[in-house]
Every structure is written in structure tokens, then in C-alpha cells.
Amino acid sequence: MATEAMNMSLHPDIVELRAKHEKYELAAMEPAAQAVTGLMFLTGLYIAISAWVVGFTRFPTLTVNNLIVGITLAVLALGCASMYGRIHGIVWVAPLIGVWTIIAPWVVSGDVAHTATIWSNVVAGAVALLFGLGSMALGMRRTG
């Protein structure tokens, strides 16, 4: 049984998979990647607390939406920072979160959103979109 386990660890597919994960991990250790994931984390935190910062807590659905979306982005950024080799397959979610954050004031709260609410979401969503695309590009650049 132990011989089978040793043979499986030397299987070409496993060796190739480990090498691929190592490339992603090296990509995550670059200063640019660390900056992108750190700023993406802060963007997620801002989106999560934006209802209280900007003052649109009277829109409960948008408040809850931003809280959930912001926490999701922050957790995704933490995953990118700590285990990019394993999580790189879902990094594409970050730009989608950015797009959703941009359109959420109109979709979630309808026409009642105020200018400050809209600007907060549009700017934070655009920043999340850019950092999400940047995180995807860093992984592709290093491993491509």
C-alpha cells in the first residue's frame, strides 16, 4: 500500500499539477500581486461598511447587499493573498462583484437611491473591477 502511495506521488499528472500550483504561488508572492490583493481586500471592506460611511442605511436591501458583497470580496482577496495556487480558478468572481456593485443601486433599490449612494457604489465597484482584473492578469502573466 505504501508503495502505491509513493508511485502516485511521482505520477506525471501530479508532478505537473504541483509545478503549476508553485507557479501561481510564486505569482502571489510578487510585490505587485500583494499590493493588488491588499487593495482588493480594503475595497471589499469599504463596500461592506459603505452604508454606514456614506449614510444610506435607510435603504436596507442595498445595505445588506453591500455588506454581503463586500465581505465576499474581502474573503476572496484574503484567499488570493494566502493560497493563490488553489483559489486562482475563481478569481474571475472579483470583477463580477465590481460590476454588480456598480449596478446594484439601480437594481436593488430602484430609483430611490441618492447621489452619494450611487457615487459610492460606482467608484467602489470600478475599483473592485480593476483590482479583480489585475489579480487575474498577474496570475496569467506569471504562468502563461
More confident residue, 22 or 114: 114
Split at pLDDT 50, 70, 90, the class of 107 is very high
Domain residue limits, the chain:
2-143
Please answer whether residues 7 and 64 qualify as being in contact, where contact means their C-beta atoms are separated by less than 8 angstroms.
no
Please answer whether residues 56 and 63 qualify as being in contact, where contact means their C-beta atoms are separated by less than 8 angstroms.
yes
Lookup result for grid cell 471589499: 44
Lookup result for grid cell 482584473: 133
Q: Please, where are the H alpha helices in 10-114?
A: 12-29, 31-50, 60-87, 93-108
What pLDDT score was predicted for residue 144? 46
At residue 8, does pLDDT exceed 80? Answer: no
What pLDDT score was predicted for residue 115? 86
At residue 143, does pLDDT exceed 50? Answer: no
Reported pTM: 0.78
